[in-house]
Amino acid sequence: MTRICVYSGSSFGVSPEYAAAASAFGTACARRGLTIIYGGGGVGLMGTLADAAMTAGGRVIGVIPRAMVAEKRDHRDLTELIIVETMHERKHRMAQLADAFVALPGGIGTLEEVAEVFTWLQLGLHLKPVGLLNIRGFYDFLLQFLAHARDEQFLTPRHYSMLTVANDVESLLNKLMDTKHVHVPKPVSR
């Protein structure tokens, strides 16, 4: 694992712990020599993540739609900024570049992005680790929903266990580094 795609909010959220976690994640990735792939934004947790990684001497590659650049939402001080035309192209390019995926706290966009790559993992479209940084229990309700989906047999126990979760940066990165997925076919009900 040399490149990690990070999804996070373009806002800071209610607690300063979220920004602290984004900063710690960026710094830890830089110290481990992990290149961050992210949405290219310069605001909120996205900007904090990128700033921390760059300050610590890391590499950060942003992927952002042209319309967001026109609105001046892009981060200007990255290792590389890739400008694409659509959100779909952005997500596809980020997934191509990454060896693993992590969601920090964020809104509906962050949820949609991590749900998509977790779905792709379940379907065997990739075997890259997918993780959640569960700062302040931010993802507790999502984890409860996924456990409910498992219990109601809409998500197999094996697929449920493929999601990596930790409450602190170092634990999450260690778990992701140790993760080796194999394809587990999704059962078909008829």
On whether residue 188 sits in a domain, the answer given is no
What gap in Å lies between CA 189 and CA 181, rounded to an integer?
24
Nearest CA among 116, 99, 112, 83 for reference residue 33: 99
Instruction: Please report the pLDDT score of residue 188 as a whole number.
Output: 79
Instruction: Please report the pLDDT score of residue 185 as a whole number.
Output: 86
Q: State CA 183 to chain mean position distance.
A: 21
- Rounded to 10 deg, the angle between the 16-32 and 44-55 helix axes is 40
> Going residue by residue through the chain (190 aa), what tens digit of pLDDT does each one get?
999 999 999 999 999 999 999 999 999 999 999 999 999 999 999 999 999 999 999 999 999 999 999 998 899 899 999 999 999 999 999 999 999 999 999 999 999 999 999 999 999 999 999 999 999 999 999 999 999 999 999 999 999 999 999 999 999 999 999 999 898 887 777 7
- Rounded to 10 deg, the angle between the 16-32 and 169-178 helix axes is 40
Q: How many domains does the chain have?
A: 1
On whether residue 152 sits in a domain, the answer given is yes
Q: For the domain that residue 43 is a member of, what is the CATH number?
A: 3.40.50.450
Instruction: Please report the pLDDT score of residue 168 as a whole number.
Output: 97
What gap in Å lies between CA 139 and CA 116, rounded to an integer?
16
On whether residue 31 sits in a domain, the answer given is yes
On whether residue 187 sits in a domain, the answer given is no
On whether residue 94 sits in a domain, the answer given is yes
Element housing 7 (H / E): strand 3-7
Residue ranges making up the domain that contains 49: 3-178
Instruction: Please report the pLDDT score of residue 187 as a whole number.
Output: 78
What gap in Å lies between CA 41 and CA 160, rounded to an integer?
31
